[in-house]
């Protein structure tokens, strides 16, 4: 059986940046959004290392904000560099998706 996580791993950064381009939010909400869009197996332990990596690349920034239920939460926002990277990711993804779809949908010629 094919390991779906291998394929998904390469796309998560772009998906996280797209979510953050829409709103500033915290890690658990990012996981929830990804789950709602079909990343059922995504856990917080997968997302937080990606958020750290994106922050080190200066694609996102974070701030601590009060939480209504307990300790402060770290909220993430996309940066201008992150938006530039996201646009490049979307262009690349569209090209790859088109090519893969064409190959997977081609008819056998005998």
Query: ∠14-16-20 over CA atoms, to 5°?
Result: 115
The CATH number fitting domain 4-104, selected from 1.10.10.10, 3.40.50.620, 3.40.50.1580, 3.90.180.10:
1.10.10.10
Whole-number pLDDT of residue 44: 85
Which pLDDT does position 110 carry in this prediction?
Answer: 42
Give the span between the Cα atoms of 86 and 59, in whole angstroms: 9
What pLDDT is stored for residue 42 in this prediction? 85
pTM: 0.86
Q: 10-residue block means of pLDDT along the chain (110 residues)? A: 64 96 96 92 88 96 91 96 96 93 76
Query: What is the rounded distance in angstroms from the CA atom of residue 101 to the CA atom of residue 13?
Result: 22
* Three-state DSSP class for residue 61: strand
Sketch the domain layout of the chain as residue ranges: 4-104
């Amino acid at each position: 059986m094919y390991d779906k996580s291998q394929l998904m791993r390469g796309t998560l950064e772009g998906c996280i940046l797209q979510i953050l381009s829409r709103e500033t939010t915290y890690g658990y909400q990012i996981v929830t959004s990804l789950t709602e869009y079909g990343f059922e197996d995504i856990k917080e332990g997968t997302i937080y290392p990606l958020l750290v990596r994106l922050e080190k690349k200066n694609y996102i920034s974070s701030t601590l904000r009060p939480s209504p239920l307990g300790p402060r939460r770290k909220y993430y926002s996309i940066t201008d560099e992150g938006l530039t990277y996201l646009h490049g990711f979307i262009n690349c993804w569209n090209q790859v998706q088109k090519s893969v779809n064409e190959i997977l949908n081609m008819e056998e010629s005998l």
